[in-house]
Structure 1
Amino acid sequence: MSENGEEKLLAVARHIAKTLGHNNTMSDDIFQILSNFDGRFSRENLSEKGAEADSRACAALDHSLKTLDRRISNYVSSDRPIWADAADSAAFLDAVDELVAAVAEWNHLASDKAVAACLVRAEDMLQHAMFRLEDEFRSLMERGGESFGLTRDPRHGESAENLPFDSEDDDDDEEARNGDDEQIPVALPVTDFDIIIDALPAGTINDLHEIAKRMVAGGFGKECSHVYSSCRREFLEESISRLGLQKLSIEEVHKMTWPDLEDEIEKWIKASNVALKILFPSERRLCDRVFFGFASAADFSFMEVCRGSAIQLLNFADAVAIGSRSPERLFRILDVFETLRDLIPEFDALFSDQFSVSLRNEAVTIWKRLGEAIRGIFMELENLIRRDPAKMAVPGGGLHPITRYVMNYLRAACRSRQSLEQVFEDYGLKDYPKLDDRLPNSSSLSVQMDWIMELLESNLEAKSKIYKDPALCYVFLMNNGRYIVQKTKDSELGTLLGDDWIRKHAAKVRQFHVHYQRSSWNKVLGILKLDSNGSLPPNGLAKAMKEKLKSFNAAFEEICRDQSSWFVFDEQLREEIRISLEKILLPAYGNFIARFQGVPELGKHADKYIKFGTEDIQSRLNDLFQGSSGSTGSRK
């Protein structure tokens, strides 16, 4: 063993004896044990020569520190980047390694005043070295980012990030006026998310790893993480900004007009997919490479880089969730709900460590809050139906706007049936007790749809009572009932409500048809009814028949005049009504005319009393329910 090494060994033994010996007797015993083990550990060597050995050991440490100080100071004080030259960077790292090793080797002797003084100097040198490493780390990050900048065209292979950015050329005249011919980067559509960005050159990543390794070993791991995260955070925020997403507070989101918010939601969906599927995974990969072997530092750095951008995305979704619950917002809120739901696996994969798991939990919380918002929108739809006043009748008994609105709304909403079932799966039937027995095996979404349909039907029944003419009341119910059945058939809404529901409501429409026919045409049919008892004298029969025909003509003309302005929107329903009227009216009218023409007192003059032939009756029936302007509406 060299002289210097033996001095260190003796110094260690002496330190052990002094540390473990609580009094002089114990110290003597420890000296004796060490002496029996090795003659060099005799009491004379450890005590009498102790001061001299300590002096030589400290001198050796002092000499090493002076040598390291000269080597390190040359680099620390240099204005030239150390990593501009590979030999310089290697030499500087070697010196730092030796300094860290020296501090670690002598640190357990820090209770010795002489050693402690040397260690203070060593710590000061180490701090200066770490500050310079921090500067070099930052410089490498910035230079690497510039060489792999966002404005490079990825299609030409000049940027390893492969982000979907391009440039739009402004109009030449506009450029001439502005005096600015710079290309403006804009986001291009992304269709393939199976991309990992290497945002820094491989050589730079290796250099950063070597620096990070020394800074962590020197106790400056957090400082290294902060430098790293500040540089990468700026890159990440700029990337998201170039996807068109603004930084908006919750208050600013709530103040936006709905068209502007719709546009912002569209941008949010694109930015969220790019961030969670491309940008964040790429940052995770870069962190793991730079801080390889230091999992905690890698996790902390990744959280520091992505936290701000992730919170920006989540805050926007949260603002949408707690905003207005107006029914027209359902479809865009569903888009946000589905986007966040589909990105939860990415949140699970990326944000599962101790530093970032709160982001994953927040994403799940906001996703559930969006579900609550969707349920709230359906409650608002229910209130809208309840509050729709039954004041003004739709002209001609046509289709009511509330029917068209609700049915088209539900039909469109049910295109997202899977998402809505997910929203309502925990909702249960507790708010719809009277539907519980009727739909014992139905999903919560089915119950919700059935409940809304019941509210709509009740509202329409109340509106039908506005009409003074019972026949027109039933035409109104026929129109709206038929529209409801048609919109339900062959759709996800119909699947939810079920075939039995559709058959039941189709039967209701037929019943309305029967009620219309009875309330409107039974009186006319009663006029045509013939007295078969033959009690009238011949001249009395002729007079009665003429009165009946006159009454029929008047009643028929009145009905046709009134009901030609009524409206049945569905051509098939209109044809069904016409055919049913012909079946009951034409035979009765034909029998009456035949009997009328057979009265002897009328003779050959009978035809002058007959105003309508069979074809005339058919023609007038064909003119029914054509409606007038303002009464028809649209059947969309």
Structure 2
Amino acid sequence: MAGPGRLASVSECSELDFPAYSDVDSVRPFSRYLDAIRCISASRSGWSGCSRSSSSPSACTSSDHSPFAVDLLFEAETAAVDDKVLGDPGLREIAAQMVRDRHIHGLVMAFDREPGVLGRWFSELDVDWVVAGKDNGSIPDGSPDQWSVRRWTHALAVMVQALGGAQRYLRREWPTTAGGGIEDIEDALMKLSATDEPADGLLLARFSQASFSTMLGFADALASAKNDVRAVEKIWALLEVYTCVWDAAETLMPPLQAESRLLRNEDMKSLVREMEDVFSRSMHKMRQAIWTMIRDVKALITSKESWGAIPENGQVHYTTRLVAEHLKLFWRYRSALNPIIVLKQLSDSWDSNLSCGTAIFGRRTIYSTDQAIAYMIHQLQCQLEAAESRSFSDPSLRYLFLANNSDFVMQPFVDSFSDFPVRIISNEMGKIDGYLESYVSVSWEPVVSCLHDQFQTMLCFSKQPSLTTFMCELQRIYNAHKLRRIPNLHLRVRLRKAIIGKVIGAYEGYLADQYDVQDRYLGHDSGRGPPLPPRSSTSVMLDMLNELFEG
């Protein structure tokens, strides 16, 4: 089964300006590798101008802010996951150069006889803190910040492709070493199975097993960290790391497993099994942690405690913001989530009580991430409607609250995620349209109704001043609603247009009727009936209504 985004093989790129050593036993860190990896990590995280002496973004010139620093919560990027860390041409070239200058060979040869080789290797990859924390599974600074996760995924990508490239290099060397001169790799391996594998191959397997076992300690620590549904960066880190580990396993393990079936060396077979187990255990832990986070998001939505403090003036609720950030992440990482969602629901070994899939998604079985998102949006709207009914005595505020919150959740799926199912968007946007129509009806229909009453008065040729009641009511509603805020410009414009169409449309129709009444029954100069404003008087009213909802 293919992963969510395959790690590309080592490319035959043109030479970069990297140092080369003729001494294959040399394992001193190549600072140019470290610099190159750091600058790629920095550029991916929005920083530039990296310094070799730094392992954090503070030493780089800031060109953008971390997503975690934007507004209240993590702003999920809308680009495809496959276009991020995985397959990065810069990382592929770094890995290819490590193989071309035989640096990986030097590390492998020194691994068994020199202490600290693994630590120096991880320092070159800019993840020395992984080795430092492997015994207790620590996460740098106690939290999975964006910078650490980016460094880790980039390091794993380089590691996978560099070790994979070294493995392919040895394949080309083994037939000559065995003396057979066989070009076909499989035939060569069959011939080698009658004897021991080349020592370099076994050493590479040991070095690879130690590297990946240590590297995946960070993933295990991340999966085991205490869950906090309010820490959106935790689910982001889990999904980012899980995607990278999945692709690493899909890239590395199939060729290793194929070779282990052909070769007789039990040490080699054991090392391959150990690597397979390391990846399998790590991915299982992360799947469990991701599923728990999905369950926690569902619990957050349905908990009454989540909706205790309703913001004034119909603003977006904190819980709505939190859920929206999670849902954006779920969709962005849908390729990784789809099998997790299905397998966790269909697994007979899963807890049959609160943990089971049918308990999370009601009586339905959810088969895809978009169905899970649609279900959670529906549950969110149910909770919003329950919350507004308890909190707002003013019906206009209720509908404004519902429109603001529902639109906040749907906005990224409408504006940024073009591949999100149209049927879900249409259904949810229809609900928002209903909230807007109800708001206009309960708030501005009383204003318009004054014109109907005054029209009856005009037919009786009353001496009362025309439009006084309408203007007073219009000013009252305008004053009450002017400072109510709609943060989404598109929604704000839509609602203004709806109000203008209703109020000014009715006003212009009223004026036309009244001028017709005067012309027909009173005459222009009769002196009877209240004076009418000029037909162009709507411009002032239009300017006034266009100031609504600025907050």
TM-score class normalised by the smaller sequence: 0.5 to 0.7
Q: CA deviation at 1:337?
A: 0.9
Are the structure 2 counterparts of residues 408 and 616 from structure 1 closer, same or farther at C-alpha, using a change threshold of 3 Å?
Answer: farther
For residue 269 of structure 2, give the secondary structure of its aligned residue in structure 1. coil
2:161 maps to what in 1? 277
1:341 maps to what in 2? 246
Are the structure 2 counterparts of residues 367 and 301 from structure 1 closer, same or farther at C-alpha, using a change threshold of 3 Å?
Answer: same
Identity of aligned residues (%): 17
For residue 270 of structure 2, give the secondary structure of its aligned residue in structure 1. coil
Deviates more, 1:278-287 or 1:357-366: 278-287
**CA deviation map 1:577-603 (0-9, x unaligned):** 322333334313543565478776995
Q: Is 2:304 aligned against 1:379?
A: no
Q: CA deviation at 1:346?
A: 1.1
Q: CA deviation at 1:336?
A: 1.0
Q: Is 2:138 aligned against 1:253?
A: yes
1:191 maps to what in 2? 92
Conserved in 2, the CA contact under 8 Å of 1:341 and 1:367? yes
For 2:396 and 2:407, locate their aligned partners in 1 and report how far apart those are by CA, in whole Å. Answer: 16
For 1:499 and 1:306, locate their aligned partners in 2 and report how far apart those are by CA, in whole Å. Answer: 46
Are the structure 2 counterparts of residues 169 and 258 from structure 1 closer, same or farther at C-alpha, using a change threshold of 3 Å?
Answer: closer
Are the structure 2 counterparts of residues 599 and 250 from structure 1 closer, same or farther at C-alpha, using a change threshold of 3 Å?
Answer: farther
1:515 maps to what in 2? 438
For 1:301 and 1:374, locate their aligned partners in 2 and report how far apart those are by CA, in whole Å. Answer: 35
Are the structure 2 counterparts of residues 593 and 254 from structure 1 closer, same or farther at C-alpha, using a change threshold of 3 Å?
Answer: farther
Q: CA deviation at 1:314?
A: 1.8
Are the structure 2 counterparts of residues 516 and 490 from structure 1 closer, same or farther at C-alpha, using a change threshold of 3 Å?
Answer: closer
* CA RMSD, Structure 1 to Structure 2 (Å): 4.6
> What aligned pairs does 1:220-259 form with structure 2 within 5 A after superposition?
230-231=112-113, 234-245=116-127, 246=129, 247=131, 248-249=133-134, 251=136, 253-254=138-139, 256-258=141-143
1:217 maps to what in 2? none
Unaligned segments of structure 2, at least 5 residues: 1-16, 36-51, 56-88, 179-191, 261-267, 346-356
Q: CA deviation at 1:191?
A: 2.5
Q: CA deviation at 1:366?
A: 0.8
For residue 529 of structure 1, give the secondary structure of its aligned residue in structure 2. helix
Conserved in 2, the CA contact under 8 Å of 1:474 and 1:515? yes
Q: Is 2:430 aligned against 1:430?
A: no
Are the structure 2 counterparts of residues 520 and 603 from structure 1 closer, same or farther at C-alpha, using a change threshold of 3 Å?
Answer: farther
Are the structure 2 counterparts of residues 235 and 369 from structure 1 closer, same or farther at C-alpha, using a change threshold of 3 Å?
Answer: same
Q: CA deviation at 1:367?
A: 1.4
For 1:228 and 1:521, locate their aligned partners in 2 and report how far apart those are by CA, in whole Å. Answer: 80
Aligned residue among 224, 227, 239 for 1:322 = 224
Aligned residue among 552, 561, 564 for 2:482 = 564
1:17 maps to what in 2? none
TM-score between both structures, scaled by the size of structure 1: 0.56
Conserved in 1, the CA contact under 8 Å of 2:454 and 2:467? no
Q: CA deviation at 1:403?
A: 4.0
Aligned residue among 367, 371, 392 for 1:447 = 371
2:337 maps to what in 1? 420
Q: CA deviation at 1:452?
A: 1.8
For 1:169 and 1:198, locate their aligned partners in 2 and report how far apart those are by CA, in whole Å. Answer: 15
For residue 31 of structure 2, give the secondary structure of its aligned residue in structure 1. strand
1:212 maps to what in 2? none
Are the structure 2 counterparts of residues 251 and 230 from structure 1 closer, same or farther at C-alpha, using a change threshold of 3 Å?
Answer: closer
For residue 155 of structure 1, give the secondary structure of its aligned residue in structure 2. coil
For 2:242 and 2:103, locate their aligned partners in 1 and report how far apart those are by CA, in whole Å. Answer: 34
For residue 626 of structure 1, give the secondary structure of its aligned residue in structure 2. coil
For 1:249 and 1:200, locate their aligned partners in 2 and report how far apart those are by CA, in whole Å. Answer: 24
Q: CA deviation at 1:547?
A: 7.5
For residue 359 of structure 2, give the secondary structure of its aligned residue in structure 1. coil
1:155 maps to what in 2? 19
For 2:202 and 2:92, locate their aligned partners in 1 and report how far apart those are by CA, in whole Å. Answer: 31
**CA deviation map 1:512-559 (0-9, x unaligned):** 2332233223333333335999xx9x9x9344x627844333222212
Unaligned segments of structure 1, at least 5 residues: 1-152, 171-183, 205-224, 632-636
Q: CA deviation at 1:363?
A: 0.7
Q: Which amino acid aligns with 1:452?
A: M
Q: CA deviation at 1:263?
A: 2.9
For 1:366 and 1:409, locate their aligned partners in 2 and report how far apart those are by CA, in whole Å. Answer: 23
Q: CA deviation at 1:449?
A: 0.5
> What aligned pairs does 1:45-56 form with structure 2 within 5 A after superposition?
none
For residue 460 of structure 1, give the secondary structure of its aligned residue in structure 2. helix
Conserved in 1, the CA contact under 8 Å of 2:450 and 2:469? yes
Conserved in 2, the CA contact under 8 Å of 1:528 and 1:552? yes
1:266 maps to what in 2? 150
Rg (Cα) greater in structure = 1
Aligned residue among 7, 15, 31 for 1:166 = 31
Q: CA deviation at 1:315?
A: 1.4
Are the structure 2 counterparts of residues 512 and 588 from structure 1 closer, same or farther at C-alpha, using a change threshold of 3 Å?
Answer: farther
Are the structure 2 counterparts of residues 546 and 371 from structure 1 closer, same or farther at C-alpha, using a change threshold of 3 Å?
Answer: same
For 1:596 and 1:574, locate their aligned partners in 2 and report how far apart those are by CA, in whole Å. Answer: 32
1:467 maps to what in 2? 392
Q: CA deviation at 1:412?
A: 4.6
Aligned residue among 475, 488, 491 for 2:413 = 488
1:619 maps to what in 2? 540
Q: CA deviation at 1:235?
A: 3.5
Q: Which amino acid aligns with 1:273?
A: A
For residue 478 of structure 2, give the secondary structure of its aligned residue in structure 1. helix
For 2:104 and 2:338, locate their aligned partners in 1 and report how far apart those are by CA, in whole Å. Answer: 47
**CA deviation map 1:366-397 (0-9, x unaligned):** 113212222222233333444432433343x3
2:64 maps to what in 1? none
For 1:200 and 1:191, locate their aligned partners in 2 and report how far apart those are by CA, in whole Å. Answer: 15
For 1:166 and 1:615, locate their aligned partners in 2 and report how far apart those are by CA, in whole Å. Answer: 74
For 2:401 and 2:201, locate their aligned partners in 1 and report how far apart those are by CA, in whole Å. Answer: 67
Q: CA deviation at 1:478?
A: 3.0
1:393 maps to what in 2? 311
**CA deviation map 1:259-308 (0-9, x unaligned):** 6x433333322332333332476389779979984249777655554443
1:584 maps to what in 2? 506
Are the structure 2 counterparts of residues 578 and 159 from structure 1 closer, same or farther at C-alpha, using a change threshold of 3 Å?
Answer: farther
> What aligned pairs does 1:38-187 form with structure 2 within 5 A after superposition?
155-156=19-20, 158=22, 165-166=30-31
For residue 443 of structure 1, give the secondary structure of its aligned residue in structure 2. coil
Q: Is 2:460 aligned against 1:541?
A: yes
Q: Which amino acid aligns with 2:19?
A: R
Conserved in 1, the CA contact under 8 Å of 2:466 and 2:530? no
